[in-house]
């Protein structure tokens, strides 16, 4: 089984032509490492910000809680976070009460009505931080989110936003543990992901690899900061995970193999993992992808997601295959609908 096409694409296109400073790629099948390739300054043990590759992990943790009967996807978020008992939406420049409550399912499927402006828009972010304070916890910030109007009625449609950050706060209430500690106890430690965390402490951040930024067609090194982690006490369920390619491949392999890890640890049941291969809302993405539980879903059932710094994960339970590509480059022009799909197709051709 040769992966020369994949190596050539990484070395000759991504590194040489597109000037990406470093790329790590792993391909797993049925717990066996089929292929591993590092190019440029990347290494398998480099800690990086996973950004939105965090979302599939958070979604899997929530589904474990549902599997255990500790929450239901149809539960109103307000039953865990009372600040969501009365939320509003925008209409004709006014705030009006919503007609139905936000549920856990709405958060998982990005149909709750939140976008990302509370984090990415400087004015909105400034209002949020003035409300919650610069040392606010995961739950305090989630409560702050509830104060801002939704873009639309919950369940109405898909909108990419902060839903998984709120799910982290829901999990904290259910487990009575900080989100980072709970994920460590049920996923990271048992599966051997020893370099993964949601905590952005100084000791963790000093081990994070240099981060780069494309701006006006130029690449330069930028600050090693994740702007989605709003305070030192905030465990962002949508973008806060720090991991390595070696660690993340263990999660991807677990999901591609029906919820059981390479070391035999059972994290999810196969029927729960199967739900990730199903589209759940009417969202049409590139190449026929739909949106499911924190992941995009292909017509064939392969699912995964991308991160803002170029990392991506693809998992295919039908054939037990997972692909993880690690990068640390913000604003990369080829991020969406280009390089990742090319990589996927090359890997499938090799298989």
pLDDT at 286: 81
Tokens 């599966």, residue? 191
- Mean pLDDT (the chain) is 94
* Residue 74 vs residue 20, higher pLDDT: 74
Cβ-contact 219, 15 below 8 angstroms: no
pTM here is 0.96
* Residue 283 vs residue 29, higher pLDDT: 29
Q: Which residues sit opposite 305 in a β-bridge?
A: 313
pLDDT at 32: 97
Q: Which two tokens stand for residue 180?
A: 């980072």
Q: Which CATH class is domain 4-67+177-350?
A: alpha beta
User: Predicted confidence band at 90 (pLDDT cuts at 50, 70, 90)?
Assistant: confident
Boundaries of every domain in the chain: 4-67+177-350, 77-175
pLDDT at 239: 98
Say how far apart CA 89 and CA 148 lie, in whole Å: 8
pLDDT at 336: 58
Say how far apart CA 258 and CA 324 lie, in whole Å: 17
């Amino acid at each position: 089984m040769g992966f020369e096409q994949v190596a050539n694409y990484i070395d000759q296109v991504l590194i040489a032509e597109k000037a990406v400073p470093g790329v790590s790629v792993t391909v797993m099948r049925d717990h066996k490492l089929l292929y591993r390739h590092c190019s440029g300054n990347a290494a398998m043990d480099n800690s990086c910000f996973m950004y939105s590759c965090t979302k599939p992990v958070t979604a899997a943790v929530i589904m474990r809680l549902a599997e255990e009967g500790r929450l239901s996807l149809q539960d109103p978020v307000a039953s865990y976070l009372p600040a969501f008992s009365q939320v509003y939406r925008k209409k004709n420049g006014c705030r009006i009460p919503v007609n139905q409550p936000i549920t856990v399912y709405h958060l998982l499927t990005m149909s709750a009505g939140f976008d990302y402006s509370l984090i990415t828009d400087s004015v909105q972010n400034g209002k949020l931080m003035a409300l919650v304070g610069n040392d606010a916890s995961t739950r305090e910030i989630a409560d702050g989110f509830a104060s801002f109007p939704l873009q639309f009625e919950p369940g109405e449609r898909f909108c990419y936003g902060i839903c998984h950050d709120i799910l982290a706060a829901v999990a904290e209430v259910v487990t009575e543990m900080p989100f980072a500690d709970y994920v460590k106890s049920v996923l990271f430690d048992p599966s051997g992901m020893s370099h993964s965390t949601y905590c952005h402490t100084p000791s963790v951040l000093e081990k994070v690899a240099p981060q780069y930024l494309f701006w006006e067609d130029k690449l330069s090194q930028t600050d090693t900061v994740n702007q989605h982690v709003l305070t030192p006490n905030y465990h962002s369920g949508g973008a806060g995970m720090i991991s390595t390619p070696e660690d993340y491949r263990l999660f991807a392999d677990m999901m591609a193999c029906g919820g059981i890890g390479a070391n035999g640890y059972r994290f999810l049941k196969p029927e729960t993992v199967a739900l990730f291969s199903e589209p759940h809302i009417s969202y049409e993405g590139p190449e026929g992808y739909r949106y499911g539980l924190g992941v995009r879903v292909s017509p064939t059932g392969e699912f995964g997601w991308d991160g803002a710094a170029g990392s991506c994960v693809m998992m295919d339970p039908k054939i037990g295959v997972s692909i993880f590509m690690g990068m640390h480059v913000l604003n990369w022009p080829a991020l969406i609908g280009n390089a990742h799909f090319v990589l996927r197709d090359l890997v499938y051709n090799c298989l």
